[in-house]
Structure 1
């Protein structure tokens, strides 16, 4: 099912009188979330790692106390009824095992089916007397869809039965009929249901409640745990690329301090790093208790300052001990005067990070002079799960420790709530709008180009004044803007009109050369666009690109703004800026080095 970008308010059909109770008022009874949290901690403390890797729903059920079982079988969804009713719980038949409490509570599986957007749900039936009714959790995993509930009075009443004390209070009441969505956060409607249930009372629930008790999805194991040896070494810029370099890395919990050794490159130096300059890192512990085999590690960040412009430096990271240095790597500062340079741009990595890593490594081998790598969001699929980031950094080793990464935030980087891990991993410029969290929106100049990074997860109007201020005050010859959600969508079912309305007038006014985006998982380059219309001359419009570098692919719609479009191909883009004759050479390559797009823009 496709989720909506934002929840809409559903105006429910009045069925008698509906009273919403506060989720907090439950007579002191622990919530499902409370029980799952205490069971999780007990499992972590008492169960060997190997057993946790293989534990399933049946084993979890057997270890629960009677009180825990009672809450998990009765306190997920609750309501009270004014008359005796027949309750039907419609479950996803793909769940294995099916919700364990249905048989235990005396529900009987029926032949009744409801179809929602081609998905089938099976009905489980039980009669209840007047009073309170409590239903259990969906599953101990995130698999399948959340069940929903219908009920009908055993004896037809007028006025209709009263439904009170709905919990959680996000539940909504509607009539069961074709065209009504069973979820409060998804528009997909019911298309078929048993006629004997026509005009029954439907309790609409949230699709996200499938996660409420998904304890088996909370035991994560990283393939790449930390150790005493530094890894995940990544370059970013938090200050001027001509005079500074920011370096981040990871160690295990036994190494709680960090040092960078560096010096200008001048031939072979067998004494490096012993006689090099050193800078102490800021070291902080990162606790991720859901990573069972590596719950704690240290993150280290150092900023090298007062560097010489246009100069190559050697560096290594460690803890200051002679046998703990990383392999020697190098970086190059930006030139003081404008000079030709290139950079690589990638859309969503997100899925298939081993295959994405091969694409990244091939790009690095083919274009060793690229100054930096720009990512238009969705670097990973699960932004608050550290094992996903560990996979990303493992597959980026040997590249992002030599070429700075310039990231934008995608929606998947924010998956699971606030993108705390993203901010932990990347130290970025703090020069965005004052009212927006630092490092979400930022800018820097490299050579004769201005690079602006926006956050399309946030309301665009909050960034618009800053965007105009940046563009109106720059003297840069080339202007690039990057963010995640595309102005001109590739996907047939998407359109980000709010972003387009807020930002394209400014792009037009200051003639932004290219806008680099992701999200739609198919390649699209527009014609030059101005005032939301294609124009003939490259010098008169802005080029918008949507790209994907991972393995998750979408369909593509035919659009009048599409100059080049294709699907099912992971690609990277090389943007080569030539100063001598003032032109940009833009090229798109796949993992085998085959060129799929080629464009030259002259100033």
Structure 2
């Protein structure tokens, strides 16, 4: 009996000393990650956002941050509830893609003409659907000095949820490394290999070139396909991915798959707006903004919850080191012909004093793949890019890597009813990015190899068939194409030199080029 009493006493003491806050604490569903926040120009100080997601248990968090060996600052997070009902059963009407009638499929790589009859297909969600209930937290880290490494800790009581660091934006006289990649999270192995290779590059920031999460960009799909590759990775590897977002802010661009779900049938549609915190100095809401459907109550609720990202994610810009980046949503649902949008973009590009100018959107204007070839709505913007001194346009959408010769393009006044934009090309084929590093024209880069299934075949076949089928609409503007590797772009920025390397899922270099400029 004495021994039993001793055991019971020991258990009671242990229980009394147990930290009940751990038992009652929230479950961390998405670990804290870094976001760009409302940093636009390189004036004054920088800002960053730390955000994370939990279940809906009550708890008190604090974010501690500061430069190394400097004072420890504290930021109190803001919390908001996210509640989504289980989606209703649905039936999709699948409209088969049809090759335009003027094509004559003779070459083996051409798409097969399918029956025009609509097919009713019952679609079962790939994962078990359920109601979703979250607390979303974010803390603003303000007045950060440029050119600095900021250390941060997110704490729940005395428990450290995440401890990491990030770089604030560099000023124009400093060097910087960024990564650009699109068409990313499908839940498959290639995205994890690419994330692993990106981490090895140690970028300061990443620009996601659209189609961030497949198949329709829902919150549910982020929870299953995205975070476990780019953020919540305990043991980084080529098969697991890497916790990039703990230290690398992602600048988001909307792709067609990011806006593939709609209210009110799918309450967690447009997941990108819930999770990303981009700069907000854009043109505001307009015909170019992502449509929210006809359910006014659902749209109003969405705007209230996501005022940090809607409508700013559709069009924004920011300075990073010696570069200026213009971000646009150029999907079909966005009115790229809007005079207001064009005027804002042109003014934005002209007023910047940065040495380098880059435009980033999802749908490429110039590429040599048969997939998505006729989606050429952005070709009409090229003359404005030329006038404003844009160096490179980056896009995704086409699942491979392509780089054009520097080119000038004069579009015809009348647009092809099938979406194609005809015009006159002038190409600088003397530019090789090695001996000749001064391009005459705008270079167009497709970097859509981030994880989604690759688009084959390569240039040797497509250049023949596209010219045969589309005649003067297609020109030999593609300098290099790699269709059989997943890949991403690594950009090294300096005030007078830009070095681009393209790496595949094995870390092997598949392209490189350099551009140089005299000092401003």
Name the counterpart of 1:237: 36
Distance 1:300 1:420 in 2: 18
- Report the CA distance shift for 1:337/1:545 in structure 2 as closer, same or farther (over 3 A): closer
Match of 2:450 among 533, 541, 549: 549
The C-alpha deviation readout for 1:50-108, integer Å capped at 9, x for no partner, is xxxxxxxxxxxxxxxxxxxxxxxxxxxxxxxxxxxxxxxxxxxxxxxxxxxxxxxxxxx
Inter-partner Cα distance in structure 2 for 1:384 and 1:519: 14
Question: Which residue of structure 2 aligns with residue 327 of structure 1?
Answer: 162
Q: Could you tell me which of 45, 55, 58 is aligned with 1:252?
A: 55
In structure 2, the partner of 1:393 is 227
- Name the counterpart of 1:9: none
User: Is the 8 Å Cα contact of residues 257 and 300 (structure 1) preserved in structure 2?
Assistant: no
Q: Distance in 1 between matches of 2:147 and 2:131?
A: 40
Instruction: Give the match's secondary structure for 2:214.
Output: coil
Higher relative contact order (CA 8 A, sep 6+): 2
Q: Secondary structure at the match of 1:416?
A: coil
Matches within 5 A, 1:542-581: 542-547=442-447, 548-556=449-457, 557-558=462-463, 560-579=476-495
SS of alignment partner, residue 513 of structure 2: strand
Name the residue aligned to 2:336. 460
Which residue in 2 is equivalent to 1:413? 258
Tell me by how many angstroms 1:440 deviates. 1.4
Query: Kindly tell me: are residues 278 and 293 of structure 1, through their superposed partners in 2, closer, same or farther at Cα, counting changes over 3 Å?
Result: farther
- What is the rounded CA distance, in whole Å, between the counterparts of 1:428 and 1:434 in structure 2? 13
Give secondary structure in 2 for the equivalent of 1:374.
strand
Shift of residue 360, structure 1, vs aligned partner = 1.1
Cα pair distance change 1:402/1:300, threshold 3 Å: same
Corresponding residue of 1:376: 209
Find out whether 1:540 has 2:440 as its counterpart.
Answer: yes
Matched, 1:311 2:148: yes
How far has the Cα of 1:497 moved from its partner?
Answer: 2.8
Conservation of the 8 A alpha-carbon contact between 1:236 and 1:426? yes
TM-score normalized by the length of structure 1: 0.57
Partner of 1:110: none
- Structure 2 match to 1:262: 65
Cα separation, 2, equivalents of 1:504 and 1:601: 19
Structure whose CA Rg is larger: 1
Deviation at 1:361, TM superposition (A): 1.9
Does 2:325 align with 1:451?
yes
Is the 1:511–1:540 Cα contact (8 Å) retained in structure 2?
no
Match in the other structure for 2:394:
516
1:414-458 superposed Cα distances (whole Å, 9 cap, x missing partner): 011265321110111111113332221110001110011100121
C-alpha separation in 2, matches of 1:322 and 1:266: 21
Q: 1:427 to 1:383 in 2, by over 3 A?
A: farther
Q: Helix, strand or coil: the match of 1:260?
A: strand
Q: Distance in 1 between matches of 2:512 and 2:486?
A: 16
CA separation of 1:284 and 1:344: change in aligned 2, threshold 3 A: same
Report how far residue 363 of structure 1 moved.
1.6
- CA-CA distance at 1:294 after TM superposition: 6.2
The whole-number CA distance in structure 1 between the counterparts of 2:132 and 2:323 is: 42
* Cα RMSD after superposing both structures: 2.2
The DSSP-based 3-state class of the residue aligned with 2:198 is helix
- Stretches of structure 1 lacking an aligned partner (at least 5 in a row): 1-225, 268-274
- CA deviation map 1:348-395 (0-9, x unaligned): 114244431221122212x22x22011110011134433321221111
After superposition, the C-alpha distances for 1:228-286 in whole angstroms (9 at most, x for unaligned) are: 2363432221222752111211111114654321121239xxxxxxx932211121111
Question: Is the CA contact 1:230–1:326 (under 8 Å) kept in the aligned structure 2?
Answer: no
Cα deviation, residue 591, structure 1: 1.5
In the TM superposition, what is the alpha-carbon distance from 1:316 to its structure 2 partner? 1.8
More deviation, 252-261/384-393? 252-261
Q: Tell me if structure 1 keeps the 8 A contact 2:170–2:176.
A: no
Q: Which string of whole-angstrom CA distances, capped at 9 and with x for unpartnered residues, describes residues 162-217 of structure 1? A: xxxxxxxxxxxxxxxxxxxxxxxxxxxxxxxxxxxxxxxxxxxxxxxxxxxxxxxx
- Give the TM-score normalised by structure 2: 0.66
What residue is the counterpart of 1:61 in the other structure? none
Paired residues in the alignment total 364
Contact 1:487–1:500 (Cα < 8 Å) also in 2:
yes
Deviation of 1:477 (Å): 0.3
Distance change (3 Å), C-alpha of 1:355 and 1:469: same
Match of 2:511 in 1: 597
CA distance in 2, matches of 1:386, 1:434: 24
Match of 2:315 among 441, 463, 469: 441
**Deviation at 1:339?**
0.6
- Identify if the C-alpha distance between structure 1 residues 294 and 357 changes in structure 2 by more than 3 Å, giving closer, same or farther: farther
- Runs of 4 or more off by more than 3 Å in structure 1? 255-258, 291-294
1:352, 1:553 → 2: CA distance?
15
Determine the structure 1 residue equivalent to 2:72: 276
Q: Is the 8 A contact 1:352 1:552 kept in 2?
A: no
Q: Distance in 1 between matches of 2:172 and 2:396?
A: 32
Evaluate the alpha carbon distance shift between residue 599 and residue 584 of structure 1 in structure 2; reply closer, same or farther with a 3 A threshold: same
Q: Distance in 1 between matches of 2:61 and 2:189?
A: 29
> Structure 1 residues 235, 354: CA separation in 2 closer, same or farther (over 3 Å shift)?
farther
> Structure 2 regions of 5+ residues with no counterpart?
1-24, 87-127, 232-242, 264-268, 287-310, 410-424, 432-437, 464-474
